[in-house]
Structure 1
């Protein structure tokens, strides 16, 4: 697997949480699937921001068998150090986690970067799982944000030309209505991405 740096202005991959993931909001931690537009979520850069769009995509066994690269990554409780995440966290393979690791600082020249969950595979407590069925949940804000999921900083859904095409057609319409800017959002941080 090779590593490359994605500048903040480039399009991004589809990133999603799975149901049950606790997201920190103005009123405490709530399962991601219960969040709706207007609810305020804690962001690293802008304090509490309202959810603008939430979506869900469910995949059946045949979908996952046809595209095993869609199978999620399990990050076990404490696998990221300092007892983080607080509970097991399951995210899409291209979902990005905030990193301050020295090797990522050296690559990006910045104190913080975002790294794909699949790039963490092989580290203790981080594995790919193959469920028979799963749903992915998306949360989008006015800006690409870094939010607390299981008390660990990770990214929100990134609105961009490439990501919009991966959504179901009714979701594409919703996203285009909520985010009419064709060039999409600037990434919250430089990304350390992987090419399988």
Structure 2
């Protein structure tokens, strides 16, 4: 499959939520050949995952979010995570992600209501912690990395999620007419509401706000 760039987007769902979950250019992803900037990944490259070893990339997508959109809706501004903000060497460098991009957490304070040792937490839920803040409005490119299943991958030395075909993202691909991707996951032409279950429990943002 080819790398595809979709038109500039507000990143909103019908409910007005910022639904884009992805990396930004320069994020370093661990592959079989070493660390590679996410914007240089190609379909077929094998990326280190937490659960499945090295897995091939199925599809790479890109879209942009304008500065005007971020000014009109500040909740859509990307999240800056300074080097070391998540722990020593985590991330290894300053990292910018979309507000709803999720990171793997083992923090007991966040997991107290769950009978689990790991979960996924949105970047926006970490706002207010030292070294984590929204960026100033500026045109931003987002990069999606899709696998056969939802994966947790090593990005800037932190474990965070791949692009997941949940209900919102599946509908976005249908609207963008990404027929090759949809056919890969639903070869009979069926379009289920959700093509990929989450790799871990996804913590609701309201329950994890700092």
Bin for the TM-score computed over the shorter chain: 0.7 to 0.9
Q: TM-score scaled to structure 2, two decimals?
A: 0.82
What are the equivalent positions in structure 2 for 1:1-196 lying under 5 Å apart?
13-167=19-173, 169-170=175-176, 172-180=178-186, 182=192, 183-195=194-206
Shift of 1:174: 4.0
Structure 1 counterpart SS, 2:71 = helix
Structure 2 counterpart SS, 1:64 = helix
| Cα separation, partners in 2 of 1:60 and 1:117, compared to 1, 3 Å | same
What is the distance in 2 between the residues matched to 1:65 and 1:55?
24
Which protein has greater RCO, CA pairs closer than 8 Å, 6+ apart? 1
| Cα separation, partners in 2 of 1:103 and 1:161, compared to 1, 3 Å | same
1:101-145 per-position Cα deviation (integer Å, ceiling 9, x unaligned): 012222221110000000000000000112321100000100100
What is the distance in 2 between the residues matched to 1:15 and 1:134?
13
1:56-89 per-position Cα deviation (integer Å, ceiling 9, x unaligned): 0012222322333221100100000122100011
| Cα separation, partners in 2 of 1:164 and 1:70, compared to 1, 3 Å | farther
Shift of 1:153: 0.3
Kept after mapping to 2: 8 A contact 1:74/1:127: yes
| Cα separation, partners in 2 of 1:192 and 1:177, compared to 1, 3 Å | same
Unaligned runs of 5+ residues in structure 1 are: 1-12
Q: Which has the higher strand share?
A: 1
| Cα separation, partners in 2 of 1:106 and 1:171, compared to 1, 3 Å | farther
Kept after mapping to 2: 8 A contact 1:14/1:166: no
Shift of 1:158: 0.7
Structure 2 counterpart SS, 1:107 = coil
For these two proteins, the number of residue pairs brought into alignment is 184
1:159-183 per-position Cα deviation (integer Å, ceiling 9, x unaligned): 1221123458446434313322623
Unaligned runs of 5+ residues in structure 2 are: 1-18
Q: CA RMSD in A?
A: 1.8
| Cα separation, partners in 2 of 1:79 and 1:168, compared to 1, 3 Å | farther
**Range that drifts further, 100-109 or 59-68:** 59-68
